[in-house]
Structure 1
């Protein structure tokens, strides 16, 4: 389930995410907010025709996560990725303010979206336009992100329902575990079931 805020040059995606650590099998979930660059598309059809919206290139990501084995609502795994290399995020960046006041921090980032893009290596063609619009929408974007926070997701079934479209990514994590014996198999059972069904499909 994705929420998209689409502007002139950028798109902001908000969703719930579920993460399995490949290293030790610990589990994280919470709100993921991603900034993407919108690719201009040639006009198609008549003046009334629906147009393509393409937002393929990621620039920045915030993962405001809880550890499932940690404090509920504690944001112990909250971090961000200030840039991408093609489709791959850079290493996690940790900052005290991201854990201590994640929603205030997110609002601050959205209030300078041109600066966030520049730090990711992209200068917007008209930075003032998108900056002004995103700044005005920042409270609404933060509200949607809060609605997809870990504290709003109380069961494994709800977590799976909110992330079912990205189940393939979780399957890859499960397939690459360094210590599979450490995995909480009950907590990930919906993803294990969907992975097994995918493997059985002809």
Structure 2
């Protein structure tokens, strides 16, 4: 499940996320991405439905816990301040993010011009959207908290919210030389998803 907050040129995508690292460490929590809406030509009549294309990733925050650590510790919380095309930059760790993830997220989204600038985009892209986005920050953060790691979900609940990412989970598992049978059993729903 992905929830999109869309504006004129900007979109914020919020979702539950689950992943497994090359060392078989499993992480879960909220993923928040700042993306760009690609302008589309008008189609049909003045009443026709119009296409919406959410494309270029600008910035990402992963408010994650590791499954082998206490819930709510945000032991794997990090962010990606830039993207190279569709690939995120290396993880950036922040004491401020770990100490107050929801406050940190609100502060980041309240200064979207700076996020664009750091990512190499013209901050003017936010001119029409910055105030509207800032007004929605409490709603975005509340949505992000719904998917946060403080209240652990069962494996099956996690899968229900992340089943669209099954192909990515399978690719992650392929990067592990010899996955432990317990890890493979935990991942079974993602592995069996068509």
Whole-angstrom distance in 2 between the partners of 1:141 and 1:11: 11
Counterpart contact for 1:80–1:94, Cα < 8 Å? yes
Displacement of 1:183 after TM fit? 5.9
Displacement of 1:125 after TM fit? 3.9
Whole-angstrom distance in 2 between the partners of 1:156 and 1:135: 34
Whole-angstrom distance in 1 between the partners of 2:125 and 2:32: 22
Q: Secondary structure at the match of 1:18?
A: strand
Residue ranges of structure 2 left out of the alignment (5+ in a row): none
Counterpart contact for 2:16–2:29, Cα < 8 Å? yes
Q: Deviations over 1:18-66 (max 9, x none)?
A: 01002x1010000000011111000000000011111111010000000
Q: Deviating runs (4+, > 6 A) in structure 1?
A: none
- 2:18 is aligned to 18
Distance 1:101 1:57, change over 3 A: same
Displacement of 1:182 after TM fit? 7.7
Counterpart contact for 2:114–2:123, Cα < 8 Å? no
Whole-angstrom distance in 2 between the partners of 1:99 and 1:3: 23
Q: Secondary structure at the match of 1:74?
A: coil
Whole-angstrom distance in 1 between the partners of 2:124 and 2:106: 23
Whole-angstrom distance in 2 between the partners of 1:92 and 1:109: 16
Counterpart contact for 1:29–1:68, Cα < 8 Å? yes
Displacement of 1:193 after TM fit? 2.7
- 1:147 is aligned to 146
Displacement of 1:153 after TM fit? 4.0
Whole-angstrom distance in 2 between the partners of 1:179 and 1:116: 39
User: Mapping of 1:113-152 within 5 angstroms?
Assistant: 113-152=112-151
Counterpart contact for 2:71–2:152, Cα < 8 Å? no
Q: Secondary structure at the match of 1:32?
A: strand
- State whether structure 2 residue 34 is matched by structure 1 residue 35: yes
The TM-score normalised by the length of structure 2 is 0.95
Displacement of 1:8 after TM fit? 0.8
- 1:50 is aligned to 49
- 1:7 is aligned to 7
Whole-angstrom distance in 2 between the partners of 1:153 and 1:164: 17
Whole-angstrom distance in 1 between the partners of 2:191 and 2:81: 31
User: Mapping of 1:36-115 within 5 angstroms?
Assistant: 36-115=35-114
Displacement of 1:181 after TM fit? 3.2
